[in-house]
Structure 1
Amino acid sequence: MRRRTFVGGTIASALAALACSRGLAGNPAPNTQIERYRALIRKGIADHKLTGVSAALVRDGKLAWAEGFGLADRERGLPMTADTIVGIGSVTKTFTALALMQLHAQGQIDIDQPIAAYVPELHIGARGADLAQVTVRSIMNHTSGLPSDVFKNTGLETGDYTSVVGLLNETQLAAWPQTIGLYSNIGYSVLGNVIRNVSGQAYPDYVRARIMEPLGMARSGFVTDSALPPRTQLYYQDGRRTPPLELRDQPAGGMYSDVSDMARYAIAMMEAWRGSAGLPIDPASVQTMFRLSNADIRVETNKKGLGWFMFQAGDAFAMYHAGSTGFANAALLLLPQERIAAVILVNTVGGNVLANDFAFRVLEDGGLKTADIRPAPHLPSPSQDAVPTRLPLKVLDSHVGDYARKRTFASITRDGHDLLLKTPDGVLRLQSVSDGSFKPYVQTDHDHLQPVAGERYRFADVGPYHVLFVQSAEDGEYQAGYRIPPHPLDASWKARLGRYEHFGYQVPGAEQILAAQFDMVDGRLPRMQLVYNTGTYTYPLIVTSPDQAITGGLGPETTGETVRFMDEDGVVNYSGLTFRRVQAARNTTTERS
């Protein structure tokens, strides 16, 4: 993919190509390319047992292809078409970001101001951080430190986006602001409150009046819109219809659309980026949204613009967002330099795999790779000429301790002039070399050291975190845990170990949390195992007070979340869900895992 010369026109004329047709239209892509996409979709439907899929391709700034596959309503035999309306999930976040940029361009907000300037009722626990660093921009690019979510009252029948502020006030920051990339659904509902408080319009009303209607997106909207046309039915992979689910977090994932309307939106965003003036999109705003915004975040997993994920290689780039409502799935990809876009909607649980496969195929056809989303490294590159060196023991000892990862603990001890990294996968001997990194070795049964090819380890302080990084020739630079403060558990904590079963409000959707099991690793490090109907997920716990802990790890989601024990009732609260003690632990020690 390389920059193409823009051949005249405005947003209005670019969108006009969509007005006359909702099928094959505009300037078609080569038939062989379209057939490849059709074949990919048909194979994905068969492989993943999907009921209905619709997809569209924009080429040269015009709709080139839009088509439905399978069924929108299995029971009535209604086909999926380019008109079929599906929930787009988190792709909604791109509309929320655009709304904020409109208000920013009009001088009604400053996205670099603290969120408290626009939502003063937010009083989340700071955990020692400066809440002034929780800015509108930091929430837009998921570096604010706000929790990923609060599971309580996630359905629209029990709350809406305006109620999330009260839920957040019962918890605390999950990470140090502007330090860690931590994806936050609930943060975008806070942004919806910014739009509401500043504009005086409810979030759905603002997006409909200021974005959808000016773009002619007549078949898009929210479930609270009385004029929203009928939507697809939703299905499990075995063909059963799912129960109804409407999301509380409308600014994060509550929008409905069809692929033709989404193509209109894609064209408008790309042409605005190219400088075409026209409402409702200001070119300078889109150019800001389509610019790398998180290059200075040292613990990060993806390049991001504002409201979008970003693939970038040299001057070439693409913007991307995927979405899920819990049942439906969506993906939207823009390659503005090439005036190419792709959108896909799926009405079946498990459709996220096909959605990503389709979008990434278009990405690769445009000249980029999925690896281009990986952030640039911040640490010095390993030197191939580095030689073994001996560091002072006090330097080595400064790295010793327990390290929290997303799913488990690791520990580092000193053995002479080497460090030993112990993980569930085994033990690595880390030997210091002259470029400041550590070379990893596996010790064989015969005390022979076998080097781990293509990897180096480094330690770095990032904000308040002492982080262990891996530099991998294959996977790039990534964090492998951060050191936690020593916090010996007292008898009261050990007495809490055991199984707690869920009661009260349950998360709607395909996945539900049934129980929480608490035990200890190596007899000293607490952990929580959440038992879902789909499997069990393990989280290390970092004790922060006599009755609270947080889940370990540094991003990209569901880390740093609060676990609160209420001993008088034998109840534990996690992300707004409650669990009651039913069985004490038989012993307090488990193997490291």
Structure 2
Amino acid sequence: MQRVGVDNQELIHSRINHPIRGYPQNLTAMKDSRPALSLFTGGLLTLVVFIALPGFGQSRYAQPDTYAGLIAESETYFEDKLKTDKIVGLSAAIIMDGKVIWKKGFGYADQQTKTPMTVNTVVNIGSVTKTFTALSVMQLEERGLLDIQKPLTTYLPTFHPLTRPGIPLDSVTVKTLITHTSGIQSDVWKNSDLGSGHYTDVLGFINQTHLVYPAGLAGLYSNAGYNILGHLIRDVTQTDYVQYVHKHIFTVLGMTHSGFAMDGLTNRTKIYAYGQQANEYELRDIASGGIYTDMNDFTTYALGMLQAYRGESTALLKQATAQKMFTQQNAQVPLETNKKGLGWFMFRNDSTFAMYHAGSAGFTHAKLLLIPDRNAALLVLTNTAEGGQAAETFCFNELPRFGLRIPDLFPTPTTHLVGKPQDLVTLADSTLTSYVGIYAESNSYNVVKLTNHQLILVNGGQKLVLKPVSETEFLPYDVKGADTIPRVEQRLIFRKLKGKTFLFRRVNTRDYNLGYWLRPIDPHIWSNRMGIYEHYGYQLMIGDSKFKRAELYMSADSVLMLRLSTMGSSSEMPLDAIDANYALSSGVNSGFGGVNVIFREAPLYQTLEFAGLSFRKPH
């Protein structure tokens, strides 16, 4: 899945990248829940599941206001957004001081029949389901049925993806799945609708793939990983995931209007995109995006989590466990884009914190922001693809009210602090040569060359001169004709992690990953694989995400490239060849980065698989 992110603004997370939970409507519009940076423009594409936001860092309120003022402004905000953003229907709620002070529906649940959207309208909450899955796992740990620090194979011995040197299987713990740091690829699109597949099928698909990274190296948002957690819950409890959630969460909290597609819930909304009603699409991946609820139950869930954290109720979870879920768990992950607890994304500074998750499925959106120390929450559900931005902006505009701001989401940099410009140093060509090569991002790559005893970085038609200030840190200079102009607030830093050399761009207190060193390939081995592969077999059933073809070619810099095309758009990505039959789409935390590409020979065709979808070309 790709998630929706921020483009050319302060980013937030979204793979989330997605108008549809992980199933892009088209490749050009898609942005991931994992942020990527354009080296030359400074633009951000993120994805944890977050959407482009028009301006953060300031509250809409110059002075603290009463709840009456907050309610009035919230109602005006949504009434305006219904018109300006062409949203058919939404519902929203505000919790303050442990009480629901406001909840209301706007627009229509069914535009044709003029059925109003109310707090009783049921909506698919998409990836917010992951917070329920993480909660279920933590309940099992409370009961002594598992330990999240232990390898996943302790409880799920049928987990056996392909292995290669430097990526030990035992490093994949239950916790790494919860925090999206397991190295399991993001999605498997084959049989991804509920009519074609079951959530337990995902494990078998993943067992045919390589882990993308060693566990603990990088944050890679993974729907597949959360469906494997659903499988884990089933095997440990001998209870299907659906029944487990009903018994141990919905029933405990009294969420009587919540469930899954197979539950036949009443009052479900119609769904909309581009001004038209869209077809329903039930996801196979119920443990990562399958829960439906209305605003009444959604607020009940938010209150239940707040009460557990504050020790006001332990029916759902013990206070210590809830506080563990709401404590940052990924501070030691070197390639991260967002602070995370267990199952939640996290805004955190020295004074306070908030927990957040967003979801999108079948064009609906759900947003849930919890501020535990203030016993407060903001919640939005919408039935329209275009409604995600308004919903998220509503939540994030209120962060300053609680002493938070957007940058509190970003992790502490792992490279050293960049201060005032340092004196340049001289490095031997032998040292500089160790950095020469291709550094692959999700949709492009950077070429680092050694010319006249200095490193040159080229991306397309743009060029930077890199002048060393230490053995691993370089000051970048823009080339303007015969002149070079230093970017004094920036550094480019080469860093070796788990056997790979990564290139970072450090700007003040932010790290941006610019890709990792790509192993050279033998073009002769891949020459007979080049060409156009036409899609065949299972096709995505949702929106306009109809994949048409995949083209394998070699770039002018001898980089193996894949061009993936839908009916009206395309995306190009460098490939990291593992062996003659497997490659990985490149890039860290962004775009289509981190997907297995599998090549097979058949009597009449050569086949290529991408995220489980199949393409072929004649011999």
Tell whether the structures are fold-level matches, with TM greater than 0.5: yes
What secondary structure, in the 3-state scheme, does the structure 1 residue paired with 2:374 have?
Answer: coil
Contact (CA 8 Å) 1:139, 1:187: kept in 2 or not?
Answer: yes
**In the alignment, which of 300, 311, 314 is matched to residue 278 of structure 1?**
314
Query: Residue in 2 aligned with 1:182?
Result: 220
Once the two structures are TM-superposed, the CA of residue 355 in structure 1 deviates from its matched residue by 2.1
- Residue of structure 1 equivalent to 2:195: 157
Q: Secondary structure at the match of 1:38?
A: helix
Distance in 1, matches of 2:263 and 2:523, equals 52
Alignment of 1:520-531 (within 5 A): 520-522=554-556, 524-531=558-565
The answer on 1:476 being equivalent to 2:510 is: yes
Which of 329, 336, 347 is the matching residue for 1:300? 336
Contact 2:445–2:574 (CA under 8 A) maintained in structure 1: yes
Give 1:566 deviation, angstroms.
2.6
Secondary structure of 1:379's counterpart equals: coil
How far has the Cα of 1:180 moved from its partner?
0.7
Residue 264 (structure 1) aligned to one of 282, 300, 304: 300
2:81 aligned to 27, 39, 44, which one?
44
The question of whether the paired residues in 1 share the 8 Å contact of 2:533 and 2:615 is answered with yes
The corresponding residue for 1:327 is 363
SS of aligned partner of 2:340: coil
Q: Which residue of 1 aligns with 2:487?
A: 452
Sort the Cα spacing of 1:255 and 1:187 in 2 relative to 1 into closer, same or farther, 3 A. Answer: same
Q: Residues 471 and 75 of structure 1: is their aligned pair in 2 closer, same or farther, counting only changes over 3 Å? A: same
Residue 213 (str. 1) matches residue 246 (str. 2): no
Give the structure 2 partner of residue 578 of structure 1: 614
Partner residue in 1 for 2:128: 91
TM-score, normalised relative to structure 1: 0.90
Q: Which runs of 4+ in 1 moved over 4 A?
A: none
Spell out, residue by residue over 1:470-518, the C-alpha distance to the aligned partner (whole angstroms, 9 max, x if none): 1013x7111111001222211x522332322212101122223222122
| 2:313 is aligned with 1:313 | no
Question: For 1:313 and 1:326, how far apart are their aligned partners in 2?
Answer: 34
Q: Where do residues 199-238 of structure 1 align in structure 2 (5 Å cutoff)?
A: 199-226=237-264, 228-238=265-275
Using the alignment, how far apart are the partners of 2:89 and 2:330 within structure 1?
A: 36
1:375 aligns with 2:411: yes
Does the 8 A contact of 1:147 with 1:558 survive in 2?
no
Q: Give the structure 1 partner of residue 451 of structure 2.
A: 415
Residue type of the alignment partner of 1:213:
T
Give the % identical residues: 37
Aligned equivalent of 2:437: 401
Return the offset for 1:405: 0.7
Instruction: Give distance in 2, aligned partners of 1:436 and 1:526.
Output: 27
Task: Compare 434-443 and 455-464 and name the one that shifted more.
Answer: 434-443
Structure 1 residue 48 displacement after superposition: 2.6
The separation in 2 between residues aligned to 1:369 and 1:181, in whole angstroms, is 22
Q: Contact 1:86–1:257 (CA<8 Å) still a contact in 2?
A: yes
Alignment: residue pair count: 551
How far residue 436 of structure 1 moved from its aligned partner, in angstroms, is 5.0
2:496 to 461, 481, 495: 461
- 1:81 aligned to 93, 118, 136, which one? 118
Q: CA deviation at 1:127?
A: 2.9
Q: Equivalents in 2 of 1:391, 1:72: separation in Å?
A: 65
How far apart are residue 398 of structure 1 and its match? 1.2
Q: Structure 2: 5+ residue runs without aligned partners?
A: 1-64
Q: CA deviation at 1:467?
A: 0.5
Q: Secondary structure at the match of 2:251?
A: helix
Cα offset for 1:340? 1.2
> Cα distance, 1:452 vs. partner?
2.0
Report the Cα offset of residue 557 of structure 1.
6.0
Question: What is the aligned partner in structure 1 of residue 465 from structure 2?
Answer: 429
1:506 aligns with 2:539: yes
**Deviation of 1:119 (Å):** 1.5
Distance 2:566 2:232 in 1: 34
Alpha-carbon distance between aligned partners in 1 of 2:430 and 2:616, rounded to the nearest angstrom: 46
- CA shift digits 1:364-412 (9 cap, x unpaired): 3322111111000111112315101101222211111111111111111
**Distance (Å, rounded) in 2 between the aligned partners of 1:454 and 1:47:** 38
**In the aligned structure 1, how far is the partner of 2:343 from the partner of 2:66?**
28
Q: Deviations over 1:410-436 (max 9, x none)?
A: 111112332111113511000011585
Give the corresponding residue for 2:92: 55
CA distance in structure 2 between the partners assigned to 1:219 and 1:29 by the alignment: 32
Query: 1:132 corresponds to which residue?
Result: 170
Say if 2:589 is the partner of 1:555. Answer: yes
User: Which residue does the alignment assign to 1:10?
Assistant: none
> Is the Cα contact below 8 Å between 1:29 and 1:64 reproduced in 2?
no
* 1:523 to partner: Cα distance: 5.2
SS in structure 2 at match of 1:407: coil
Q: Deviations over 1:340-373 (max 9, x none)?
A: 1011111112322122111212223322111111
Compute the RMSD of aligned alpha carbons. 1.8
Q: Secondary structure at the match of 1:458?
A: strand
- C-alpha contact (below 8 Å) 2:328/2:341 kept by paired residues: yes
Tell me what 1:546 maps to: 580
Relative distance call for 1:30 and 1:151 in structure 2 (3 A) is: same
Counterpart check, 1:439 vs 2:494: no
Q: Which residue of 2 aligns with 1:493?
A: 526
Further displaced range: 262-271 or 60-69: 262-271
Q: Distance in 1 between matches of 2:568 and 2:213?
A: 28
- The SS at the match of 1:161 is coil
Q: Which amino acid aligns with 2:536?
A: F
Conserved? CA contact 1:183–1:556, under 8 Å: no
Partner amino acid, structure 1, of 2:529: R
CA distance in 2, matches of 1:280, 1:339: 17
CA shift digits 1:539-572 (9 cap, x unpaired): 1111222232210112246322111223431321
Q: 1:449 to 1:322 in 2, by over 3 A?
A: same
8 Å CA contact retained: 1:382, 1:437 = no
| DSSP 3-state at the match of 1:221 | coil
Comparing 179-188 with 376-385, which one deviates more in the overlay?
376-385
* Larger Rg, first or second structure (1 or 2): 1
Q: Per the alignment, do residues 169 and 399 of structure 1 end up closer, same or farther by CA in structure 2, a change over 3 Å counting?
A: same
